[in-house]
Amino acid sequence: MLEFPRWKYVLILIVVLLSVLYALPNLYQKDPSVQITKNRPAAVVDEALSGRVQGWLKEAGITPSSVSIEGQQLLVRLPDAGMQTRAADVLRPALGDDYSAALNLVPTTPAWLERIGARPMSLGLDLQGGVHFTMQVDQKAALEKRLDSYADAIRATLRENKVVYTSAERRPDNSVQVVLVNAADVDRARGLVATAMTGLGGAGVATAGPNLSVDGNRIVARLSEAETARIATDAIEQNRNVIANRINAIGVSEPVLQRQGEDRLVIQLPGLQDTAEAKRLIGATATLEFRAVTGDEAQAAAALADNNVPAGSRIFHDQNGQPILLSRRVLVSGDELVNAQPQTDPQTGLPAVSITLNAAGGKRMLEHTLENVGNRLGIVYVERIPTVTLVNGEEVRSSRTEERVISSSTIRGVFGKDFQTTGLSREEAASLAKQLKAGALAAPMDFVEEGVIGPTLGAENVARGTQAVLYAFMFTLVFFAIYYRMFGLITCVALLLNLLMVVAVMSLFGATMTLPGFAGLALSIGMSVDANVLINERIREELRAGLPPRTAIATGYDKASGTIFDSNMTALLAGVALYAFGTGPLRGFAVTMVIGILTSVFTAVTVSRGVATLIYGGKRKLKSLAI
């Protein structure tokens, strides 16, 4: 008999309502905008800033749709992408270094939909466009950082082997010079220097040859060209891995990260909602350095006044601008951090960052604190700030490095790899913890190019993809309505709900729709058609066998369901394999294909049967079926 339980009708009704609700946000377009956020804690986002921004735009002949303060940012909404770019070009030099102006696409989804988690479907870079960054690594800084590491390793090795030296420092010609107290120690020290550098990967240095030279009591270690090139390559590769971790922390769907030339990385982030935050996190080089305090504030002031800094020391400044003497030797740096979490110091109630070091850093910290209880330890906050200046009408990008001592506390006990540091604002502590957790860059990188990828091309791709899916859907409707008559219309209802469910599910779970995804969507419609063809043809066969109409419908659905499940299961396994082992476009295709298969089975087997039962069920007599 042709029957359909009432609870299944309730289920179908709930699914339809939820599908409409969660697919609805896709009807709301995103506004091109310029997002202004502060770079420094001292900067303020307020009505005064809003007034200045509106004044600058008015002078440039740009009329924004709206200028509003939303949280800690100022959003300038523009009518179109062209005006968005013009507005950004006007605001960036006017705002200076205290603020960041980034291009953004702001959702216009009503608040009541957002409260229930309904958001527009994420679109890939090929459909929506997105943010494009080109970053260049500072290879000179990478080389200097590696040479400083070599110098530090040499000093530690010489101390362990009781070789007395006057200095062991990096020189401007990219070499490390060691000055010994006794010339008699030269032969032994030369082997120790080579061993220390080779242990850090300095394969270009050998105990004999032109890379290691001796002049009296001086030993000069120079890197070979191959080693210099390797350091540059390692820096760009390490930075690539770190930036990949940082992008993952942002949560961008299907980002693009690839090398360009010898020292550049190209980054493409499709449909990003907060480009300013992404730019800060991706390019951030803020880190911590732990250095021993070698002199108090009075000694530092005297050294600064006389311009006579003790050997092995450097002058830094604390939060209040007061000078302090710290060791040139970095005890532990940011790239030796394993984990960092913002928290509140239980004793003082001040913001703090809980830090965990790796084994090597923890060992050095333990050794230092064992020998220096009662002495002071300085913590230096180092930040590289990109700057943009106009020279002859052209943007010139550079950067400046700010170093400030955030803490110079007395070591009151022995500690190793786990400890905490204070001296930052709550905002700085949260930002620093996020950057340290993502990893430290091997060398500073600068943004040399920034823009929005293909908004016009994206709109054209969306229009063509949507048109292709609609044509496929319309052709299917016309064919089924003519060929299967009433059951053709039932099939069309099932297909329409299938399309709605795919959009709703992808929007709900944050899946990304790409151009290959449109192909997967069209394929899922075709597979849904196959399922309905199996059902309709099975019903025809049962009618030809002489079964009554209602019995033919029930038997047709029962017998076709097993075949539909089997055929879709094989396609589902193929889609899962594509997603698991594919990348980029293949995964975009697989996502829509898998979701489409699951929804098509539900609509073909359950929804269409429910509609058929509503039309042909009941106690009235049926003489024939429109199929």
Q: CA 274 to CA 424: how far, in whole Å?
A: 24
pLDDT at residue number 208: 39
Domain 31-106 has what CATH class? Answer: alpha beta
pLDDT at residue number 210: 42
Longest Cα–Cα distance in the chain: 115
pLDDT at residue number 280: 66
Residue-wise pLDDT for 99-143, tens only, equals: 878 777 777 888 888 888 888 887 766 666 677 788 888 878 778
Do 12 and 607 contact (CB within 8 A), yes or no? yes
What pTM was computed for the model?
0.56
pLDDT at residue number 394: 65
Q: Pick the closest to residue 432 from 334, 346, 321 (CA basis).
A: 334
Residue 373 confidence (pLDDT) above 80: yes
Q: For the chain, which residues make up each domain, given as ranges?
A: 6-24+455-616, 31-106, 140-227, 288-428
The whole-chain average pLDDT of the chain stands at 79
- pLDDT band, very low/low/confident/very high, at 439 (cuts 50, 70, 90): low
272 three-state secondary structure: coil
Percent of the chain with pLDDT over 90: 4
Residue 17 confidence (pLDDT) above 90: yes
pLDDT at residue number 399: 64
Q: Pick the closest to residue 249 from 434, 104, 122, 432 (CA basis).
A: 434
For the chain, helix (H) and strand (E) counts, in that order, are 18, 23
Summarize the confidence of residues 41-65 as an average pLDDT: 87
CATH architecture entry for 140-227: 2-Layer Sandwich (3.30)
Residue 563 confidence (pLDDT) above 80: yes
pLDDT at residue number 56: 92
Question: Could you tell me which residue, 85 or 489, shows the higher pLDDT?
Answer: 489
Cα–Cα distances (Å) from 524 to 472, 563, 601, in that order, read 11, 17, 10
pLDDT at residue number 166: 82
Q: CA 337 to CA 529: how far, in whole Å?
A: 56
6-24+455-616: in CATH 3.90.1720.10: no
Residue-wise pLDDT for 151-165, tens only, equals: 877 887 888 888 888
Question: Could you tell me which residue, 269 or 123, shows the higher pLDDT?
Answer: 269
pLDDT at residue number 206: 44
Cα–Cα distances (Å) from 370 to 159, 364, 411, 413, in that order, read 17, 10, 10, 8
Domains 31-106 and 140-227 share a fold: yes
Residue 43 confidence (pLDDT) above 80: no
Judged by average pLDDT, the poorest of 203-212, 250-259, 497-506, 519-528 is: 203-212
- pLDDT band, very low/low/confident/very high, at 200 (cuts 50, 70, 90): very low
- pLDDT band, very low/low/confident/very high, at 10 (cuts 50, 70, 90): very high
CATH level 3 topology of 288-428: Gyrase A; domain 2 (3.30.1360)
- pLDDT band, very low/low/confident/very high, at 462 (cuts 50, 70, 90): low
pLDDT at residue number 283: 67
Residue 457 confidence (pLDDT) above 60: no
- pLDDT band, very low/low/confident/very high, at 18 (cuts 50, 70, 90): very high
